[in-house]
A and B are shown apart, each in its own frame.
Chain A
């Protein structure tokens, strides 16, 4: 290996991935340019002065390119060797934010660096968690079909999430849920996914359907199940207990848990965002945090669905072929808040319409499928698990981000991979992808 390393670093590198990566980063810079562009001002001069976001993003892209080359030059054994150490380092950094963290937009998740840049350890922790999870699952003494190892894997994946929640970065915390896809691939029993999905459906139903009616429906379902399964129940009384238990849990969730979470755990604006997804209005006077703020004599701002509305208008106004590059009125009018970061997809939707979005999402899908293809051709479990982690993280980001811009998901601050403005995010995904390419280049090796 050491001989081929120096001679030809390009050996075994998956150029399709590199190409897709380059295309997406370019699209991202163009999108930011669209958002920043003002007719009348010379974009060349503003570009050269480097004060605009797109020139900054281009700078980030350059840095990321260097780091990518550095990663390609590195030895893939490095990542297996340092996986646990890096994970520990990441957790440490996250703990550090509680001490020296900088408060940006209400979350203490940033560590200030020199030159006005800030680092968000939670972003980097995605990489470390992916590596650590791969390292853990690929250990020879681990049998992932055992619940114990599954729990340990879940703890590895969810520890940074817990820290993120403490940092008030719910969005980033949710990303770690994507590791369940990886674990599912590695043998997590499917009923966990089914239960998870059912729980989601129950929560949505709680929001949509009137509480008493839902309770009646649930009871009816339970009753019907007991009636259908009465013969089996006769043989096995435990089944009845089990069904009743499920029924009790469901009703409990619906009557108590969900309202409790919305009123006491979430901030008023978060509850409102989720309610507005299903087209309802949340009564903030029930919210504990809102009450606290009111008690502290702070003005409680009633949030509305302005962001989603404007985002949907911008995307919807694109039509089939879009308004054309730099011609989007909503983008130029800055109607969509945070359009260069979380809502970057709207500029694309407005400028290039349905066809543009279709092609763009197609590129993403191609990349995800490519990653899965790469994953499945690995001989080493470490590489495969890591590749699945990359695919899952990216998939989660894309889905949540795009869904929130088109009104299918509550708004949570999650960037669109490789597109959204922001150095941390771009750097994270660059590292994630290029480590994968590096590992893939050495797919003949068995890494542990």
Chain B
């Protein structure tokens, strides 16, 4: 034995220990000090599967489902499982070329790795689905997966219901804790958007363990973190889908809006905006194509004009002017004004359709004949009321009335993007006229006949009629009456629509006088040509001047006079007299709702209105150009300057800027300036006929 080397044994042992300490040190680093490995392990092996519950259904007032859930198929691809595919035939079925095929596969691999399935072609048309489904066995690696989408059996109420769209990063950021993921669909507008949380239900999340090839290996931690999916709840709306269909039919080929409200509840019976579109266009396989087309459409079918269109109310404002004057005590219903065909007290003559004949001898006849002079006088009397120190104070009081009537403020309807309209502030007039108290009732005279800077949305117009019909009270207009399985937490949605609002303290006498006067409009006044079989109704026509062309045809009404059950407001842009187009539309709406059907002999009239094209010439030309361009498959759409319109879709635009048929120069920045100052050029050259 060579004992002299025995110390070397110690050295060897030391080497062993040192190496083991190094290993332990690295283990300490990996397992205890760095948290990233645990996170990476989770992302490796934990597969989060979202279970989509059925989206809630929306019913109309007669419990008819206005939209339903159906499934459509997406074509998915798992690139790693592609085997011996006849690419040429496959591409032929999908009508794409091989380069596109390769590009999509590469894209899928980049986005989602080759082991995970990605969408190859979303929302297949039925015939393509059928063709693929038969031949699926020939294309290993591809699969068909269903995706729930909406369908609309009545093909109506697109603007009200809104549409679903894929969520974007901004949406995800805003709804971080609501369980959305990239690729999910959510309500982008309309009721789908307002009631998204109710309709979407509770998404379930299941966690699975997956292996290195992304195959599921069983539940993660025995389902400890899983949540159960609960179906979205249904909405019961006040909408009458047949009435809605009628409204949309009557608005065909027109730009404008129809709003019908049940004044007893504030429930919106119909809310149409023209031009409209079939909501199925944005739900099915042609969604992508259609949404682009709709967004680029210069008549802007995606705009809900009932809440976003802002119009001068014109003569339909007169009942309100009278109410204010009556309440202020400046007139009685017997008040008369010797109108000689114009209002001359302020210098620049405001013309009136009638002259003499005592057509404005009292409130009733004045409203029936829509005497401009009479209501101009009423407005001045209210503003220059001796009870107030000056015109500005009088105007502020008058504005307060307006705001109480829901004008110039948002009503709070359960749709996103409602506009407030415009009742100008004194500051606005101070600026207009160069200083405080530099203006008087004469300067703003046409406010009294619903012009000047006053702007209302059709919904506000209808809501004002609700207040008149109810003699001083209203419920905030809304579409959804109740929610399935409503609980206390849902009061966020419903409570404000169940609260009765009282508007100032205008006495019943004043309302009675207005009711009588508005009834006279229908009997002997401007709306006398419009009849609703078996119903006495109250109405007011309006022909609103606007700087963009022909007058807007406006009509408001409620019926029956004795016990109002429906209020309708109609605006048809650039269509001329209120009684010509808006009036009959309002009449048919009342008839349909109150009589449940339209008399047979009148159906021809409905068709006639529906087929009348009142779209301004400039927009007609745009359509013609677009169709020609599409046929020629040349001339990109941008050239028409329409993209600009689409881009400004979300901006708050005061009213119908797209309809400027009389303007020669191309649509430019001037559009917005005009919109902001709608009546500047008008104030001084007023005096056209107004009913």
| A interface residue numbers (CB < 8 A to B) | 38-40, 144, 181, 184-187, 310, 312-320, 329-330, 332-335, 349-350, 353-354, 357-358, 361, 365, 368-369, 372, 375-376, 379, 381, 384, 388, 391, 395, 399, 402-403, 406-408
Q: Is A315's CB under 8 angstroms from B23's CB?
A: no
Asked if A329 meets B9 with Cβ closer than 8 Å, knowing A313-B37, A320-B32, A353-B31, the reply is no
Asked if A316 meets B30 with Cβ closer than 8 Å, knowing A365-B17, A376-B6, the reply is yes
Asked if A369 meets B212 with Cβ closer than 8 Å, knowing A38-B217, A357-B31, the reply is no
Contacts of B46 in A (CB 8 A): 329
Q: Is B45's CB under 8 angstroms from A185's CB?
A: no
Closest to A402 in B: B23
Q: Is A406's CB under 8 angstroms from B27's CB?
A: yes
Q: Is A315's CB under 8 angstroms from B31's CB?
A: yes
Contacts of A310 in B (CB 8 A): 44, 212
Q: Which of B81-130 contact A (CB under 8 A)?
A: none
Any chain A CB within 8 A of the CB of B431?
Answer: no
- Which of A185, A317, A320, A395 lies in contact with B8, CB distance below 8 A? A185
Q: Which of B1-55 contact A (CB under 8 A)?
A: 1-2, 5-6, 8-9, 11-13, 15-17, 19-20, 22-24, 26-28, 30-32, 34, 36-38, 40-42, 44-46
Q: Is B218's CB under 8 angstroms from A40's CB?
A: yes
Query: Which residue, of B6, B22, B27, B217, has the highest number of chain A Cβ atoms within 10 A?
Result: B27
Contacts of A376 in B (CB 8 A): 6, 9
Contacts of B44 in A (CB 8 A): 310, 313, 329-330, 333, 335
Contacts of A369 in B (CB 8 A): 13, 16
Contacts of A320 in B (CB 8 A): 31-32
Query: Which residue, of A39, A313, A333, has the highest number of chain B Cβ atoms within 10 A?
Result: A333
Query: Which residue, of A40, A187, A313, A408, has the highest number of chain B Cβ atoms within 10 A?
Result: A313
- Complex Cα distance, B37 from A329, in Å, reads 12
Asked if A399 meets B5 with Cβ closer than 8 Å, knowing A313-B37, A315-B30, A369-B13, the reply is no
- Complex Cα distance, B35 from A319, in Å, reads 8
Q: Is B12's CB under 8 angstroms from A372's CB?
A: yes
The 5 closest A-B pairs by CB, nearest first: A316-B37, A317-B41, A329-B45, A333-B211, A316-B30
Q: Is B27's CB under 8 angstroms from A329's CB?
A: no
A180 to chain B, nearest CB (A): 11
Asked if A332 meets B31 with Cβ closer than 8 Å, knowing A40-B218, A376-B6, A408-B22, the reply is no
Interface size class of B (residues with CB under 8 A): 35 or more
B163 to chain A, nearest CB (A): 40
- Complex Cα distance, B23 from A349, in Å, reads 12
Q: Is A365's CB under 8 angstroms from B20's CB?
A: yes
Q: Is A408's CB under 8 angstroms from B26's CB?
A: yes
Contacts of A372 in B (CB 8 A): 9, 12-13
Q: Is B16's CB under 8 angstroms from A368's CB?
A: yes
Q: Is B31's CB under 8 angstroms from A329's CB?
A: no
Q: Is A313's CB under 8 angstroms from B40's CB?
A: yes
Asked if A361 meets B23 with Cβ closer than 8 Å, knowing A184-B8, A406-B30, the reply is yes
Q: Is B211's CB under 8 angstroms from A334's CB?
A: yes
- Complex Cα distance, B1 from A4, in Å, reads 26
Closest to A318 in B: B31
Any chain A CB within 8 A of the CB of B593?
Answer: no
Contacts of B220 in A (CB 8 A): 329
Contacts of A349 in B (CB 8 A): 27, 30-31
A17 to chain B, nearest CB (A): 16
- Complex Cα distance, B36 from A24, in Å, reads 31
- Complex Cα distance, B30 from A402, in Å, reads 13
Given A187-B5, A316-B38, A408-B26, output 8 extra A-B contacts at Cβ < 8 Å: A40-B218, A186-B8, A317-B37, A319-B38, A329-B42, A335-B212, A361-B24, A375-B9
Q: Which of B207-235 contact A (CB under 8 A)?
A: 209-212, 217-218, 220
Q: Is A185's CB under 8 angstroms from B12's CB?
A: yes
Closest to A309 in B: B40
Contacts of A407 in B (CB 8 A): 26, 30
- Complex Cα distance, B36 from A317, in Å, reads 8
Contacts of B20 in A (CB 8 A): 361, 365
- Which of A185, A313, A391 lies in contact with B41, CB distance below 8 A? A313
- Complex Cα distance, B46 from A384, in Å, reads 52
- Complex Cα distance, B180 from A313, in Å, reads 28
B349 to chain A, nearest CB (A): 86
8 pairs of residues in contact across A and B, judged by CB atoms under 8 Å:
A184-B11, A186-B2, A313-B40, A349-B27, A349-B30, A354-B31, A357-B27, A406-B26
- Complex Cα distance, B636 from A235, in Å, reads 92
- Complex Cα distance, B22 from A446, in Å, reads 38
Asked if A333 meets B37 with Cβ closer than 8 Å, knowing A368-B16, A388-B12, A403-B23, the reply is no
- Complex Cα distance, B2 from A410, in Å, reads 38
Q: Which of B533-565 contact A (CB under 8 A)?
A: none
Q: Is A335's CB under 8 angstroms from B45's CB?
A: yes
B14 to chain A, nearest CB (A): 11
- Which of B15, B40, B42, B211 lies in contact with A332, CB distance below 8 A? B211
- Which of A315, A333, A353, A354 lies in contact with B212, CB distance below 8 A? A333
Q: Is A332's CB under 8 angstroms from B45's CB?
A: yes
Asked if A181 meets B15 with Cβ closer than 8 Å, knowing A329-B41, A329-B46, A349-B31, the reply is yes
Asked if A358 meets B217 with Cβ closer than 8 Å, knowing A185-B12, A332-B45, the reply is no
Q: Is A316's CB under 8 angstroms from B34's CB?
A: yes
- Complex Cα distance, B22 from A201, in Å, reads 16
Q: Is A314's CB under 8 angstroms from B41's CB?
A: yes
Q: Is B209's CB under 8 angstroms from A333's CB?
A: yes
- Complex Cα distance, B313 from A196, in Å, reads 97
Contacts of B38 in A (CB 8 A): 316-317, 319
Q: Is A312's CB under 8 angstroms from B30's CB?
A: yes
Q: Is A399's CB under 8 angstroms from B31's CB?
A: no
Q: Is B32's CB under 8 angstroms from A354's CB?
A: yes
Closest to B44 in A: A335
- Which of A144, A315, A375, A408 lies in contact with B37, CB distance below 8 A? A315
A288 to chain B, nearest CB (A): 31
- Complex Cα distance, B214 from A355, in Å, reads 30
B262 to chain A, nearest CB (A): 58
A137 to chain B, nearest CB (A): 10
- Complex Cα distance, B26 from A38, in Å, reads 30
Asked if A354 meets B217 with Cβ closer than 8 Å, knowing A330-B45, A333-B45, A408-B22, the reply is no
Q: Is A354's CB under 8 angstroms from B15's CB?
A: no
Query: Which residue, of B1, B11, B32, B40, has the highest number of chain A Cβ atoms within 10 A?
Result: B40
- Complex Cα distance, B27 from A334, in Å, reads 21
A426 to chain B, nearest CB (A): 22
A77 to chain B, nearest CB (A): 19
Contacts of B22 in A (CB 8 A): 408
A59 to chain B, nearest CB (A): 27
Q: Which of B132-164 contact A (CB under 8 A)?
A: none
- Which of B6, B12, B16, B217 lies in contact with A39, CB distance below 8 A? B217
Closest to A327 in B: B221
Q: Is B9's CB under 8 angstroms from A408's CB?
A: no
Q: Is B2's CB under 8 angstroms from A187's CB?
A: yes
Contacts of B9 in A (CB 8 A): 185, 372, 375-376
Contacts of B40 in A (CB 8 A): 313, 316-317
Asked if A399 meets B211 with Cβ closer than 8 Å, knowing A314-B41, A372-B9, A372-B12, the reply is no
